Structures are given as C-alpha cells and as structure tokens.
A and B are shown apart, each in its own frame.
Chain A
Amino acid sequence: MSELTEASVRAEARAWLEANWNPNYGLVEWRTKLIESGWGAPHWPKQWYGRDLPVGLVPVVDEEFARIGAIHVAKAGIRTLAAATILAHGTDLQKEKYLRRILTGEDTWCQLFSEPGSGSDVAGAVTRAEMKGNQWIINGQKVWTTSAHKAHWGLLLARTDWDQPKHRGLSYFILDMKQPGVDVHPLRQMNGYASFNQVFMTDAVVPPDMIVANVGDGWAVTTTTLMHERRGADSLRSWARGSDKPGRAYDEERAEIATVMEPYKWYPQRAGRVDLIMPRARETGAINDPVARQEIAKVLVMARSAEWTARRARAAQEQGRPQGPEGSLGKLISSHIARAAARVHTQMLGANALLTGEDSPMHGVVAEILVSVPASSIAGGTDEIQRNIISERVLKMPREASVDTGKPFRDVPRNTVG
C-alpha cells in the first residue's frame, strides 16, 4: 500500500468528488453513495464506511468538500455522539443497524442522561433497567433532552444494579423512542422557548442485544459520549451555516438544518450577544456616557482576551504541543462574558428593560438576552463543576471527599422523585 500523504489524500478525495458530486441528487441518495466510497467518514474503519484515515488528515478531505461545495454526511446533533459511542463500544450488530442511517441523516438521536434528580451528578441516575422475560424493562424519567420528540433512538443511561456503588451499577442502552412506553413532553424554559423535553419511560422495552458494552459498564460508555460532546461543539456551528446554492440536495440539506437548529434559536442570546454591544451603545447614546463606556470596555476586554485564549489553545493543539491550562477554561470564561454582557445590555436598555417582544428594542432580541443568559452558567456543566474540573485536573488540587463512591447505591442519600 502506498503511503498516505496530505497531497495523495487530497488528490484522491478531489478526484472522487469531482467525478461523483451532483447537487441534483436526493440528500439520502447522495449520502448513500458518499458513504459507500468511504469519503463520508474517512477516519472510520474501512469495515464501517471509512478509510482508516488518520484523524489529522480529515481536515484535508473536508477542505475538498468545501472547495467543490459537496454536501457532507449528516453531522448535526446527538447522532455524531451516537456514532462515536457505537464505534467505540458497540457490537457488530449495532454498527450494522445504526451507523449507515446515522450518516445518511435518516435517523435522529437523542441523549437520555440527565434526570430531575441528577444534574451535575449524572452518575447518580435512578432510571431503572430490569431484565424481565428476556427483555430490558425501563422505568424512569429523563430531562433536558434536545429533540427527543423527533428522535428515533435514544442513548440511555440506566441503573441495573442497586447493590453496586454509584458508577458500577449503570448500564448503557439504545432505546427505541417510537414505542408506547416512551412519553415525550416539551420542557418550557424561563425565556419562553421549549428547546428541550422531558422523557417519561413506563415499562419501555429494550431488546437484550441493544445494551452497549456489558451490564455495569454504563459509566465508561457514557464517558466516551461526553468526551465527544465536548469536542463536537465547534463543528456544529460551522455546519449550521449551510449553503445558498441551488439544487435538490442543497434544498433538502437546508430543510434538515432548519429542523436541527430549531431548538438553538436563542443560543446566541444565551451567550450575551457581545456583537450587539457597540451597535446598541451607538443607538442608545450610551457610547457618550463615561460610566457605560467603562462597563462596555470591560466586556470587550474580556471577550477579546477570551477569543485570544481560545486561539492559544488551538495553536498548541495544532503544533502538537501539550495543551496548557488555557484549553480548559473556555466554558467558565464564556459564562462570565455572557453575564457581563447582559448587565451592559440592561444598563443600555434603561426603562425598556421592563419590556419584551415587539414592544422592546430589536423586536425582543435584547430582552431575550436578559432571560436567556442564566442558562449559560448551568447548561453543559455548571460554573461550579467547571471550577472543580479546573482545580482538580489542571491545578491538581485534592478531589472533593466522596461520600458515595464506596457505598452500595441503594444506601446513598438521594433526591426522591415521583
């Protein structure tokens, strides 16, 4: 086999795309062709729709897609996490059944980890999975489940053994969301949107071959999923731009993007809309107020420094240097910025901060910042958990004394739900 170089990979990918890409394909039709060629998931194993390409060469292939404007495999949402998890821990049967339809975008997935009683402490899940008559029977409640109402499949973390300590009594399942025992209800947030769901499972059924890894291995598998979740945030953002070109495949992709992005409409507001600060300052005249100028400058200083800190982390990664502490700080920094930005927006709104919707500036976008920002220091790991991670993993400070790790889970004090 000839050696892979950046140039050889680029040439091969380009040749294939030039010979095969056509915007008039149906979306699934095109992706099916793409997947069969191995260029849809080139870093995956050859056996499973890939080409065993080193991860470092994937950007080269992506550049060729971008150059020719070819649509990629479906990448948005939980499906990417599902694919990574199944590739790492799944059986051949599971890979056979799910991977292809993940890549074509025909199947949608959701993640069933968080529960009303276990937010930061995900491993404290109390959703119950019991083997009865050769089936897993699931009972419990999950929450903060994005797109659960559309999902075909769920990545489910459930407790199979109450006599083991917390982390060891968990198992990981693939749950068919379209069954009578699964009830999905929208969860309305304080900003009025309902981007998430609550999922109630009442004697829901999982066939015995749809457990991922072994009974009791659920936490290790969950860790894989969460690791990919942290990595994936960037790629979603770039994908969501889509293309404005004509063609059936583009039309279908635009529709797909619109559906997937629906729950995320308010996310820019959640981050504080630093980009709106200067335009709003000019519009409201706050730009001439020395007190407001100070507050505005504080946010801008923080936001620019944060951007440069992220660039430092990326530069270290690209050069293959060990990442310094700068790589672990982004989440905490962004919630600081969001909060500071919301304060400045409030200051600039004056009395208009009393109003919302079309009675308020920018048809309610600014008002929406004020009631969305509180999520930024909670979602995806609270600020407090982030500080624990930074102090324990980066600064090597002692871990919190644990009162539950050695004990059988049934003896651990916990929230009572239902």
Chain B
Amino acid sequence: MKFSFSNEQQEFREVLRRFLTDRAPTKEVRRLMETDAGYERDGWRKLNEELGLTAVRIPEEYGGQGFGFGEQCIVLEEMGRAVLCAPYFSTAVLAAGAIMNAGKEAEKKILLPGIAGGETIATLASAEDNGQWDASGVALTATKSGAGYMLNGHKSFVIDGATADLIVVLARAPGSTGESGLSFFTVPGDAPGLTRRALKVMDPTRKMARLEFSNTPATLLGTEGAAAAPFSKTMTEAIVCLANEMVGGADRLREDALAYAMMRMQFGRPIASFQSMKHKQADMLVEVELAKSAAYYAAAALDDGDDDVAATASLAKAAVSDAYIQTGVHAIQIHGGIGFTWDNDTHLWFKRAKASEVLFGDAHHHREMMMRTMTKDDAE
C-alpha cells in the first residue's frame, strides 16, 4: 500500500511508539551512546523479544514473522523517532537482507533463526576506506584455502562492526574488478586474523568499526562470484529502510521544535506567535511530509516488486537526506542558544540526521543515481 497504512499497521505503529517512548527516552539514549558498544545486549534482547522486531521481515520458515518492508519500515520509522540505540539496522536490515538475498536454502536455515530470535547480532561489511558504497570499491580478497576461504584486506564504516557476532563480508576474487568476482562470506566476530577497531563516530547513537582481515577463515554465503546482484538489491532495500528511519527522526525533530516554540516566551509572547517562526514551521511540515510520502512509497515499491525500485529508492534517499538535515538546522535555530548545547536533546537527532545523510550516499549521489536510471535507455 503506497499511500496509506492498514488498521493493523496503524495499531502496530501505536504499540511501538508507546513502547519506545517508555523504554527508550532520551535519558536512556544518552546513557547507551556513552558506552563502547552503543547498546546493551540484555536490554536489547528483552525489547526485541517482547516485540519480535528482528523477526518482522524474516520468513516464517526461518523463525520469522514473514511481514514485508511496509511493516519493517514502520519499525524503523519509530526507532528513528526515538533515536533508539540498538543493533537493529545492522542485524535486521543489512545482515539479514544480504543473507535472504544471497543465501542458499541451507544457509538461510542456519543463519536466519538466530537473527529472528534476537540471539545473533550481525552486520554487513561492504565499504572500505575509500568510502564507496557500491561494489566497485571493494578490494578485500577471498582466496580458496582447503575446503574454505581466507579473507585479506580491510572493511570500514561497518555498523556495529566491533560487537557483531556474525559479519557478512563482501569480498572479491583476486584480480577481479567491478561487479564481477564478488562473493559474500560469513565470519564470526571472534574469528582468527580479524582485528576490530571501533571508529570515533560523529553520531554516537550508531557505532561503526574498521575491520582488518589477515588470513581470516571465512564461509562462503550464496554462490561464488555472484554477489553483485544480491548486494545491489540489499543496498536498495537498506536505502529505503534508512529513508524510513530518517523520516521518523525528522518528524520528531519538527514536533519537538514546535513544542519548544509554543512554550518559549520572549518579548512577552510565545515565540510561536511570531510569523517568522510560523512560516518556518509550515515549511518544515511541508518538507517532512514530502519526505514521508517518498519513503512510504519506496517501502511499498519494494513489497510490490516495482521494476524501477532502485530509482524510487534513490529518489526517497535524496528527498529524505535533504529534509532531515534541513529540519535539524531549523530545529536548532528555533531553540536558539540552548539548541547548541549538549544538554538539549536536539543534537542527538541532528547528528543522526548528518550521519544518515551521508550513509549509503548523500542527496547529490542519489539524485545522480536516479537520473542514470531514468536515462539508461537514452541513445549515446
């Protein structure tokens, strides 16, 4: 459903919102973001068990609930509202996505139930120091070694990479370039020859790591040399999921800035009564609602299997990247001096907005991607 949510979906959203408001207030966000891991296993396991969040989009035969992107994107939007500190995106979007898209039946049976049940924290390691989000930037190599493989090279910008139990790694055959020779592998977090270093990240609510692989033994996931297509599919899905997470954050920023403007008195009146504030808020609402429409449409386009879903995903990421950061800029401005302080919560979302704007490509990148898809049939 591209333009509306069902009653069941609305109820699901309301339950989640209540739960997250209660269990993940900003005090808790601030506590967790100061930890090395950025989340707590026990707390996350409990929350996940109660709501079955990592199971949402995993098919029932692998221990999941078998819902679509429509439902998963509701989860993400609500988590984005709360800037929830949890290894959800890494585990349930990236790793589970790669496994579902690339894995063979037996592999899915082994890997997915742990994710669905919440015991396994997993992630996808694809980008490297060059910061390219597509497969062409991959240099890490996989070589055959006895019955298995060995990985050599590095990965960076790996979400929850320092703490994940299971890492899905995108690697290439030595000498291959571009989209050929790519394969997925799985590596346990404590594999020999794997060195993990937490990166200092601008957004402390989403931790990242740099991983070095030195003759690290790895297990092939899916078909050797055929990872390009499932990786690209996984990234399209991840972009749409991120866009939905982002609109949740943008809407919350907008609402909080509005609440502040209604309460803040200057010159003997609430600042919300000044036309400059009212017009800014109207513009913020326009921008956030447009972004929501794009994010919702893209989620439904994934469920509907639209042919042009990659272009739609890029459109949504472009729209949402601009909207979220712009809302953050406005929100700080509306708060005035206090908006620039550590004690005020606005920066939690501002930093998430900035980080999400860049993650998987910024608005410029995705506008270009959208144009390429739209013109791919043009004669040279």
Interface set of A (CB-CB < 8 Å, partner B): 278, 282, 287, 290, 293-294, 296-298, 300-302, 304-306, 308-309, 311-312, 314-316, 319, 321, 324-326, 329, 332-333, 336, 384, 386-388, 390-392, 394-395, 397-398, 400-401
Contacts and interface: CB of A to CB of B under 8 A. Distances in A.
A309 B293 contact: yes
Contact of B367 (A301, A311, A392, A397): A301
B290 A333 contact: yes
A287 B278 contact: no
Interface string B200-227: 0000000000000000000000000000
Nearest to A287: B375
B281 interface: yes
Interface in B233-292: 258, 261-262, 269-270, 272-273, 275, 277-279, 281-283, 285-286, 289-292
Most buried by B among A297, A308, A315, A401: A308
Nearest to B317: A301
A43 to B, nearest CB: 25
B56 interface: no
B273 A398 contact: yes
6 nearest interchain CB pairs? A297-B367, A391-B278, A387-B282, A308-B293, A398-B273, A390-B282
A314 B3 contact: yes
A319 B4 contact: yes
B272 A398 contact: yes
A305 B282 CA distance: 17
21 contacts: A282-B378, A293-B368, A293-B371, A294-B368, A297-B368, A304-B294, A305-B294, A305-B319, A308-B294, A312-B293, A312-B296, A315-B3, A325-B285, A326-B289, A333-B290, A336-B286, A387-B279, A388-B278, A390-B282, A390-B285, A397-B277
Given A287-B375, A309-B290, A401-B273, A386 B282 contact: yes
A305 B3 contact: no
B155 to A, nearest CB: 30
Interface in B178-204: none
Given A300-B370, A312-B3, A388-B275, A395 B281 contact: yes
Contact of A395 (B258, B273, B292, B293): B258
B325 interface: no
Given A290-B368, A397-B261, A398-B272, A302 B3 contact: no
B315 interface: yes
B273 A397 contact: yes
Given A297-B370, A312-B296, A391-B278, A397 B285 contact: no
B370 A301 contact: yes
Given A311-B2, A391-B282, 7 more contacts: A297-B367, A297-B368, A312-B3, A324-B289, A387-B278, A388-B278, A390-B282
B364 A329 contact: no
Nearest to B364: A294
Nearest to A309: B293
A329 B273 contact: no
B15 interface: no
Most buried by A among B2, B262, B278, B282: B282
Given A308-B3, A312-B3, A316-B4, A302 B290 contact: yes
A384 B279 CA distance: 7
A391 B285 CA distance: 9
A319 B10 CA distance: 13
Contacts of B331: none
B39 interface: no
A394 B289 CA distance: 13
B297 interface: yes
Nearest to A292: B371
B330 to A, nearest CB: 13
Contacts of B258: 395, 397
B229 interface: no
Interface of B: 2-4, 258, 261-262, 269-270, 272-273, 275, 277-279, 281-283, 285-286, 289-294, 296-297, 315, 318-319, 364, 367-368, 370-371, 374-375, 378
Contacts of B294: 301, 304-305, 308
A329 B289 CA distance: 9
B262 A397 contact: yes
Contact of B286 (A293, A301, A314, A332): A332
Contacts of B285: 325, 329, 390, 394-395
A308 B290 CA distance: 8
A348 to B, nearest CB: 14
B315 A304 contact: yes
Contact of A311 (B3, B270, B272, B374): B3
Contacts of B370: 297, 300-301
Nearest to B380: A288
Most buried by A among B2, B3, B277: B3
Contacts of A321: 4
B216 to A, nearest CB: 39
A308 B2 contact: yes
Contacts of A392: 278
A282 B377 CA distance: 12
Nearest to A394: B285
A309 B378 contact: no
A346 B79 CA distance: 42
Contacts of A306: 290, 293
B368 A315 contact: no
Contact of B4 (A278, A312, A395): A312
B290 A397 contact: no
Most buried by A among B261, B270, B289, B292: B289
A301 B319 contact: yes
A166 to B, nearest CB: 20
A325 B289 contact: yes
A282 B2 CA distance: 30
Nearest to A313: B3
A193 B270 CA distance: 45
A221 to B, nearest CB: 29
A396 to B, nearest CB: 8
Most buried by A among B270, B281, B285, B297: B285
B325 to A, nearest CB: 15
A297 B371 contact: yes
Most buried by B among A306, A326, A391, A398: A391
Nearest to A329: B286
B68 to A, nearest CB: 18
A324 B292 CA distance: 12
B29 to A, nearest CB: 26
A280 to B, nearest CB: 14
Contacts of B291: 305
B157 to A, nearest CB: 24
Contacts of B277: 397
A294 B367 contact: yes
Given A333-B286, A395-B258, A397-B281, A298 B367 contact: yes
A299 to B, nearest CB: 10
Contacts of B378: 282, 287
A232 to B, nearest CB: 23
B250 to A, nearest CB: 13
A400 B269 CA distance: 12
A321 to B, nearest CB: 8
